[in-house]
Amino acid sequence: MYAVINDKGNQYRVAEGEEVLIDALKAPIGDLIEFDHVLMVGGCEDEEPKIGRPEIQGARVLAEVVAHERGPKVHTVRFKGPSQTTIGHRQNYTRVKISEIHPDWGVENGA
């Protein structure tokens, strides 16, 4: 089973047991978090994929915080006049492991 979740304006396709890098969260390592903005659920043999409008009401994805990481350094150079300025940036990420996907198939979503 897989789901598409929305977290802080970014969409992630997740599956049970998978580890995903998401934007930084202020949660300690080992903490359980819940994503309730589920946009799509699919992958069941007996059901067709369900697409929310815009979200599936009652669906949720549970995950465990595994680690806090930093992405690769990105360098930018700005040329202005006879000089140049170099700027670097590293994005903060949180690695989460998806433990459960609860689709709530029985709840119908309003149009």
| Per-residue pLDDT at 102 exceeds 80 | yes
| Mean pLDDT computed over 93-101 | 95
What is the band of 17 on the pLDDT scale with cuts at 50, 70, 90? very high
Domain enclosing residue 65, as ranges: 2-102
Is 109 within the bounds of a domain?
no
Question: What is the secondary structure of 13-46 as a DSSP string?
Answer: EEETT-EEEEE-----TT-EEEE--EEEEE--SS
**Nearest alpha carbon to residue 40 among 24, 23, 61, 22:** 61
Residue with tokens 């990105």: 74
Is 107 within the bounds of a domain?
no
**Nearest alpha carbon to residue 1 among 101, 104, 105, 108:** 101
| Per-residue pLDDT at 23 exceeds 90 | yes
CB-CB contact of 100 with 61 (8 Å): yes
φ and ψ of 81, to 5 deg: 70, -140
The pTM of this model reads 0.78
- For residue range 66-88, what is the model confidence (pLDDT) as tens digits? 999 999 999 999 999 999 999 99
Looking at the 3D structure of the chain, how many domains does it have?
1
